[in-house]
Structure 1
Amino acid sequence: MASSATPASREQSPNAARHELYFLHGFRVAQALVYLALAFGLPGLDGPGLNRPVLAHALALGYLVFALAMLGATRRLLVRQRLITAAGLLADIAAAVLAASAMHDARIGIAMMLAVNLAAGALLLPLRLSCFFAAVATLGMLGHALFTPTDVAHELLESGLFGLAYFASVVLCHVLGRQLRASEALAEQRGVDLANLAQINELIIRRMKTGVLLVDDANRIHQMNEAAWLLLGSPAADRRDLGRLAPELSRRLYHWITSGKTDETPTQLADGMPEIVPRFTRLAPNDDALVLIFLGDTSMISRRAEELTLSSLGRLSASIAHEIRNPLAAIRYSAQLLAESTELSPADARMVEIINNHCVRLNEIIENILQLSRRERSRPETLDLGRWAHTFVEEYRQGNDLGNDSLRVIANSQVPVTAMADPQQLQQVVWNLVQNALRYGRMPGEPARVMVVVRHGERGLPTLEVIDRGPGIAPKVAAQIFEPFYTTHEYGTGLGLYLARQMAEANQATLEYVRVAGGGSCFRLILTPARVLPRTGAGEVPPPRPDARPA
């Protein structure tokens, strides 16, 4: 039976063991006092006859000293509670057998008190050991009966019945104790789970982007999370009166309590904070004392609406772009055939050139719109950015006539810069940046000078920069250049930089604009460092140094 008990039922908490051990030692003191009263007698009462007065007196005094010593040392004995309990039960059995021999008339009461000792010990000891002590106690009582001079058969019957009671009480108390310990362990585990759940709930509420306030019927704030604290203007800890802290919110709360209607117009609770729309609900259905207030940030709602709008617009634009692409291809093909005619006048040739140019521009717009709707997942690879940049510039020069403009790479060939990125998406991002730099990054009447710089940035992160020496971008314009459909050029779509940032973020990279001192613009792309460096013909590339700079 002991082997079938679960680990949780066999283990018991220190508090439970201490209580059971205190009970056993306390009962032992009471038992010793009973022996003392039986041995020396009580004033005004006739005690039982003593067969052996000297033994009874010595036993009562010695057992009382032993019981008091065990009770006083209970806290120190907890570390060896099984050993101490076993030794105490042996002493209890010996004392009970000796007391029954010295005070024969009180043997029944002494045997019954011993049953309590054995039952309390069964709460602390394994079942086999508890049954062993029950057997020892039974044998002790049977041995006492055998040496009784009168009515041996009757004494043996009584001792046998007491032995049966000992075994029954030991088994019963052990089973009950195991169930109680299992229930206690389950309750402790549930308590830990509830405490953890409460901490998780508190952390979630505290980190919620929606502000949450708990206000009582006296208009006093009991709790607020970080978002609500910021929306209220970061008040001091002692400022908890909602009427003084946010009069408009207090007014709306009173209006909701009295009328049941919510004012859904946005309002601002503190200077410099976004507008919010408050929502009210009672903490309990039938409790009017506490009210929960949710402060919804309208800027978050606006951003979500903007994302949904862009998504819908992207799908709509993609369908329109597909419909435009076929007739546009026919127009461009016809214009190319017409341009090959030898009978065109100069004026007609100029018109054909205009058609071709605008067909190219429309095709770029369609490609941007299709990229906006595709949003393909990135497939990152380990890239040597220096080599990649040289290859990119060579391909760009071959595919585009630069004229007097210049495009060059600045990279340290001695210290390679490696990064994780999708080569195709990186190609689109840098192509867009270089195209904008060659188109807008020039001073009036001067050729464009564009550099693609590859280096280790802050904390050794791989960095790729596209720098021009043009007039730069005004601060007000720079704050909006990455927004979709924002453009300052009459022929621009406003999607190029927006798509470039989206593809950069898909590669866990950041794209930002940095104004260059002395004139010019810098678009900085900070990529994810590669964990595994590529191998060259001479062996493995050495790790980058954070302080490395381009030559």
Structure 2
Amino acid sequence: MTAEPRVHSATTSPGDITRRELYFFNLYRCLEAAVYAGLTFSPYAGEWVKVAHPLLGQITAIAYLIITVGLLLGTDRLRRRLTEGISAALFIDILAASLILVALAGHSIVPMMALVNVGIAALLLPHRAYMFAGIASLGVLAPYAYARLTDAAAEVPNAETAAIVVAYFVVAALLRYLGGHMRATEDLAAQRGVDLLNLEQINDLIIQRMKTGVLLVDAANRVLRINESAWHLIGNPSPSQRELGTIAAELSRRLYHWRHSGKTDQTAVALAADVPEVIPRFTRLAPNDDTNVLIFLDDTSLLSRRAEELTLSSLGRLSASIAHEIRNPLAAIRYSAQLLAESKLNAEDKRLVDIINNHCTRANDVVENILQLSRRERSRPESIDLNAWVLAFVEDYKQSNDLGGDHLRAVTQNRTIEAMVDPQHLQQVVWNLVQNALRYGRQPNQPARVSVVARLAAEKGPPLIEIIDRGPGIPPKVAAQIFEPFYTTHEYGTGLGLYLAKQMSEASQASLEYVPVAGGGACFRITLTPAGSLLASRIAAQPG
């Protein structure tokens, strides 16, 4: 069963709003055309409207009606070229209104109806609002100008006509402002919707990646939502199974008990075979509402690991404090042993002095490792060329240590390999691993042969550093515990070297693992972060 994506309610996009506005605008045009046809064709219109040119009015009304029906049917096509389409359609509206005014001898209902056309056009195209008002004003005044040209005694525009012209500009200005404000509000709402959607997706991703199992169960005991951890912790049931009683009977029983008694069973339980034990916790989405219940499954292995980490952290601080107190008396013992060794001693006493020095050295190594663990500095990764770094490391190690008959070599590639890592941490980790390989990675009575290899895991895989020896290898039971603190199989080992190496690797966003070598030997592999990927992730994480 995998978590289903949340279903988001559909929101109205600006394109949908524009189409709806255009549709009703064109529908209003059809209404205008019908009114014009009624005024010019109806036998009863002559009782209250003076039809001066019936034929002109009828032809105009029929042509305008055909055009408006075409505009209504072609709303989607008109939306593709919004500015040109609305401008051309409004010009047709004003032309039809002017001709109807001529046919009706200047009836006032026509310019009043055109006022709506101007307002809607200004609302849809705010940047052309005043142009539309000017065109409409010319359309209203044109019949009077035509009448004066054909008849000198014709009436001139009166106060009502002047008021209509002023109204065109006032309505255009008002709806121009409202249109701009409306679009700003739409843009803000759309941006808020995107932000909310992104936030919801981030929340879903966080819940899916949580180590704690999370289930949402309704009143009918059906699982509505489940994250990946919970899916694994209840045994990876089929996605078609939604009944909690079927996929996790014990969890269903505890939920029933909690619903009716309000008490939670805190004992750990395994909800399926071969899965970790969990401790279920229940909570309501709303107080006093059992409709939906959130169930949290706390993995006891994670809790134990966290407790172990806290214990190790506390133990590290305590050990560091003790180590500081041990160093002074340890130095005094070692100094006294050195002075005693300079005296004339028999063979038995010299052997005892050697034992004191050896154990002082071992104790001092333990103290140094503990202090190194407690004062480990924060990682400061930088981009390095692994080929050059490995060559320099091997050369430096050879100069600083007498290898005797042992062999240490660097293996590099004929291509650039870049990685992001703290060079100081990497130096300590590889130094420790090489020392272990030279000390333990040898066949009996044979020199050690150790290689420090720089390579890529695959063609586009992460960069690797491998420390490989040709010794007897590490038994599987021992290999499973070698990175645990204070675990050692050597008489004089501290059990902290590999633990420190792993901790330093992880601090540089790398990983350290043991890999058996076919044919005998051991390989400690450090998987590093590619230089480009870490840099890109850091840039993406920066604000703004």
Aligned residue type for 2:114: L
Task: Determine the C-alpha separation between the residues in 2 that align with 1:530 and 1:108.
Answer: 77
Structure-2 residue corresponding to 1:107: 107
**Secondary structure of 1:280's aligned partner:** strand
CA contact (8 A) 2:442 2:469 kept: no
User: Any residues of structure 2 matched to 1:123-142 within 5 Å, and which?
Assistant: 123-125=123-125, 126-140=128-142, 142=144
Question: Any idea what the Cα deviations from partners look like across 1:74-101, whole Å, max 9, x if unmatched?
Answer: 3222223322322332332232233223
Per the alignment, residue 402 of structure 2 pairs with 397
Taking a change above 3 Å as real, the CA distance of residues 235 and 339 of structure 1, as seen in their structure-2 partners, is same
- Paired AA for residue 451 in structure 1: R
The one of 152, 156, 180 aligned to 2:155: 152
Q: Distance in 2 between matches of 1:307 and 1:247?
A: 33
- Aligned residue number for residue 390 of structure 2: 385
Cα distance between partner residues in 1 of 2:166 and 2:530:
78
**8 A Cα contact 2:515 2:525, kept in partner:** yes
String of CA shifts for 1:152-185, please: whole Å, max 9, x gaps: 36x5222112222222222222222222222222
Q: What letter is aligned with 1:409? A: L
In 2, distance between residues paired with 1:491 and 1:322? 21
Q: Give 1:185's match in structure 2, choosing from 184, 187, 198.
A: 187
Q: Name the residue aligned to 1:369.
A: 370
Question: Which aligned pairs between 1:355-366 and structure 2 lie closer than 5 A?
Answer: 355-366=356-367
Shift of 1:228: 0.9
Q: If you compute each CA radius of gyration, which structure gives the higher value, 1 or 2?
A: 1
1: CA distance, partners of 2:446 / 2:502: 24
- TM-superposed CA distance for 1:208, in Å, is 1.8
- The counterpart of 1:450, out of the listed 448, 451, 474, is 448
Question: How far, CA to CA, are the matches of 1:115 and 1:30 in structure 2?
Answer: 14
What is the total number of aligned residue pairs between the two structures? 508
Aligned-residue offset at 1:209: 1.8
Shift of 1:262: 1.6
- What is the distance in 2 between the residues matched to 1:313 and 1:370? 12
Shift of residue 415 of structure 1?
5.5
State the 1:220 CA deviation.
1.0
Give me the identity figure in percent: 53
- Deviation readout 1:432-479 (Å, 9 max, x if unpaired): 335444555566xx4353222133544374533241423x43211210
Per the alignment, residue 8 of structure 1 pairs with: none
1:163 corresponds to 2:162: no
* Structure 1 residues 217 and 416, CA gap change in structure 2 (3 angstroms): closer
How far, CA to CA, are the matches of 2:418 and 2:332 in structure 1? 42
| Shift in alpha-carbon separation, 1:415–1:286, aligned structure 2, 3 A | same
TM superposition shift of 1:231: 0.9
Q: Which deviations, in whole Å up to 9, do the C-alpha atoms of 1:211-269 show, x marking residues without a partner?
A: 11111111111111111111111111111111121111111111211121222221111
User: SS of the counterpart of 1:453?
Assistant: strand
Q: Kindly indicate whether the alpha-carbon contact (under 8 Å) linking 1:504 and 1:511 is maintained by their aligned counterparts in 2.
A: yes
Name the aligned partner's letter for residue 450 of structure 2: V
Partners of 1:281 and 1:378 in 2: CA distance: 40
What does residue 119 of structure 2 align with? 119
Q: Distance in 1 between matches of 2:361 and 2:273?
A: 49
User: Which secondary structure does the structure 1 equivalent of 2:225 belong to?
Assistant: strand
Equivalent AA in structure 2 for residue 117 of structure 1: N
Residue of structure 2 equivalent to 1:294? 296
Residues 509, 527 of structure 1: 8 Å contact kept: yes
Change (3 A) 1:96 1:134: closer
Counterpart residue number, 1:3 = none
Please tell me whether the aligned partners of residues 138 and 166 of structure 1 are also in contact (alpha carbons under 8 angstroms): no
* Separation (CA, whole Å) in 2 of partners of 1:426 and 1:266: 41
1:321 aligns with 323
The answer for unaligned runs of 5 or more in structure 2 is 1-12, 533-544
CA positional deviation for 1:385? 1.6
Report if the CA contact (8 A) 1:449-1:469 is conserved. Answer: no
Match of 2:540 in 1: none
- Counterpart of 1:354 in structure 2 is 355
Deviations 1:99-148 (A, max 9, x none): 223223x7021221121222222223322322322432343365367578
CA apart distance, 1:333: 0.9
- 1:526 to partner: Cα distance: 4.8
Secondary structure of the corresponding residue to residue 214 of structure 2: strand
Provide the residue aligned with 1:273 in structure 2: 275
Contact 2:22 2:75 (8 Å CA) reproduced: yes
Letter in 2 for 1:396: N
Q: Structure 1's 317 and 97: CA in aligned 2 closer, same or farther, altered over 3 A?
A: same
Higher mean alpha-carbon deviation, 251-260 vs 179-188, is at: 179-188
Aligned residues of 1:232 and 1:246 also touching (Cα < 8 A):
yes
Report the CA distance shift for 1:135/1:60 in structure 2 as closer, same or farther (over 3 A): closer
302-311 or 36-45, which deviates more: 36-45
Which one-letter code corresponds to 1:171 in the other structure?
A
Cα separation, partners in 2 of 1:507 and 1:87, compared to 1, 3 Å = closer
Work out whether residues 508 and 528 of structure 1, in 8 Å CA contact, stay in contact via their aligned partners in 2: yes
Cα contact 1:385–1:417 (8 A) shared by 2: no
Instruction: Tell me which moved more, 38-47 or 187-196.
Output: 38-47
Aligned 8 A contact 1:138 1:160 in 2 = no
Question: For residues 142 and 415 of structure 1, do their structure 2 counterparts lie closer, same or farther at Cα, with a shift above 3 Å needed?
Answer: closer
TM-score (structure 1 length as normaliser): 0.83
2:110 aligned with 1:83, yes or no? Answer: no
Deviation at residue 273 of structure 1 after TM alignment:
1.2
Greater Cα offset, 155-164 or 422-431:
422-431
Q: 1:311 aligns with which of 310, 313, 337?
A: 313
| SS of 1:48 mapped into structure 2 | coil
- CA-to-aligned-CA distance 1:390-412 (integer Å, 9 cap, x gap): 441442227xxx6xxx4212445
Structure 1: 5+ residue runs without aligned partners? 1-11, 532-551
Amino acid across the alignment from 1:315 = R
Alpha-carbon distance in structure 1 between the residues aligned to 2:43 and 2:442 = 117
Where 2:524 maps in the other structure, the secondary structure is strand
Match of 1:408 in 2: 407
Secondary structure (helix, strand or coil) at the match of 1:288 reads strand
| CA distance in 2 between partners of 1:31 and 1:423 (Å) | 81
The answer to whether structure 1 residue 484 and structure 2 residue 489 are counterparts is: no
Of 452-461 and 202-211, deviating more is 452-461
Instruction: Report if aligned partners of 1:56, 1:103 keep a CA contact under 8 Å in 2.
Output: yes
Relative to structure 1, is the Cα distance of residues 189 and 274 closer, same or farther in structure 2, using a 3 angstrom cutoff? Answer: same
Between 1:366-375 and 1:158-167, the stretch displaced more is 158-167
Q: CA deviation at 1:336?
A: 0.8
Query: 1: CA distance between counterparts of 2:100 and 2:389?
Result: 94
